[in-house]
Amino acid sequence: MTALAGTAARSELTRRIAGIAISIAFLALTLARIDLPSAGRALSHVAPLALVGALGLSALEVAIRAVRWWRILHPFAPVPYRSALAYLCIGYFANALLPARLGDVARTVLAARAFGIPRLRILATVLLERVADGLSILAIVAVLVVALPEARPLVAGVQLLGAIAVAGVLVAGLMLLATHRTAVAATRIGAVVRSVAARLVDGLDAIRTPGRFVVVAVLTIVPFGVGSVTLLLVARAIGIDLTVAQGVLVVGALALSTAIPAAPGSLGTYEFVGLATLTGIGIPAEPAIALVVLVHLVATLPPALAGLALTSVLHLNVVGLGRTLGQEHSGQ
């Protein structure tokens, strides 16, 4: 147990260091492109009431995403909506504390305990959320990049993201094929992979029927739309005029940036991608980075603060979340 705990601790430390290093690199690239005093002046002209409205929209977006997770969980257990919302917010809070989006793993572990649902099934619901978000956003961004002449410089980035997504699907498919069709199928590793895959597939009951699929699809697109309105409102608050299509493009790019392993809260990668996208459609760098920083805060604060409060209400050890995840992984 001591050796396993030590390995888990080293693994956690490695993830933290790698995430921080990635964030520092992206922050350096971002800062090299902007004039900080000019960006500060852009931030000083923000309309406060617009920011209050944006915070309210951000909270609404999280509430809708909780409805989606609640519906996805429903085939496994009658989880109350308030519980789904609570653990979703705790996951967001953990993402603000832990690198490489480990908040999703935290949500899986903690929700499995609370709901009495097998961990792999909870993981399947989280993966379903991520795949639904990723595919829909990637499709929307790809269409907008082609449709907006000023966004053509972003084509290479979208192609790269698409290639990564396709490669991930192919690798997963090859692993499953290898454990079914080759000598690997008779090994212990093959049996484990097949068992995990079967449990994950069982976890996709939420989209097995056309009706359920449509519900999940709608509950994926609606919060994305709310997020786009939020960004447009923040942009207006600092004097940037974006078209609806441009706003949707920027939100999509920002959402995809969170898939890059980085420091807690996607610090650095979020700002770099946002700045590149906004300057790519003709927005000057200084107001662009001001907009990205404000949107990052508006999107992060409501669920993170709610998650912080809920960890206290539910008597969860916030400081030890990373250690808990390491122990959970070492015990598997």
Q: Which residue has the tokens 């005093």?
A: 37
Instruction: Tell me the mean pLDDT in the region 195-216.
Output: 77
> Token digits for 172?
């997963």
State the Cα angle at 260 between 258 and 262, rounded to 5°.
Answer: 90
Which residues are CB-contacts of 233 (< 8 A; sequence separation ≥ 6)?
Answer: 50, 53, 54, 57
Q: Which residue has the higher pLDDT, 138 or 303?
A: 303
User: Which amino acid, one-letter code, is at 332?
Assistant: Q
pLDDT tier, 31 (very low <50, low <70, confident <90, very high otherwise):
confident
Residue/partner pairs of 94-98 with CB below 8 Å, 24 or more apart: 94/307, 94/321, 95/264, 95/265, 96/264, 96/265, 96/300, 96/304, 96/307, 97/264, 97/318, 97/321, 97/322, 98/264, 98/321, 98/322, 98/325
Instruction: Tell me the mean pLDDT in the region 242-256.
Output: 92
pLDDT at 56 over 80: yes
pLDDT at 7 over 90: no
H or E element, residue 165 = helix 155-181
Q: What is the pLDDT of residue 219?
A: 96
pLDDT tier, 231 (very low <50, low <70, confident <90, very high otherwise):
very high
**CB 314 within 8 Å of CB 93:** no
Whole-structure pTM value: 0.84
Q: Which residue has the higher pLDDT, 328 or 126?
A: 126
Q: What is the mean pLDDT of the chain?
A: 82
Instruction: Tell me the mean pLDDT in the region 242-247.
Output: 93
**Percentage, residues of the chain above pLDDT 70:** 74
95: closest CA among 117, 62, 64, 52? 62
Q: What is the pLDDT of residue 10?
A: 54
**Percentage, residues of the chain above pLDDT 90:** 39
Q: What is the pLDDT of residue 245?
A: 92
pLDDT tier, 3 (very low <50, low <70, confident <90, very high otherwise):
very low
Q: What is the pLDDT of residue 174?
A: 62
For the chain, the domains span 2-330
Q: What is the pLDDT of residue 207?
A: 82
Q: Which residue has the higher pLDDT, 204 or 266?
A: 266
72: closest CA among 132, 136, 140? 132
**CB 235 within 8 Å of CB 281:** no
Q: What is the pLDDT of residue 85?
A: 96
* Predicted confidence (pLDDT) per residue in 117-164, tens digit: 988 889 889 988 988 998 898 888 888 888 888 777 677 666 666 676
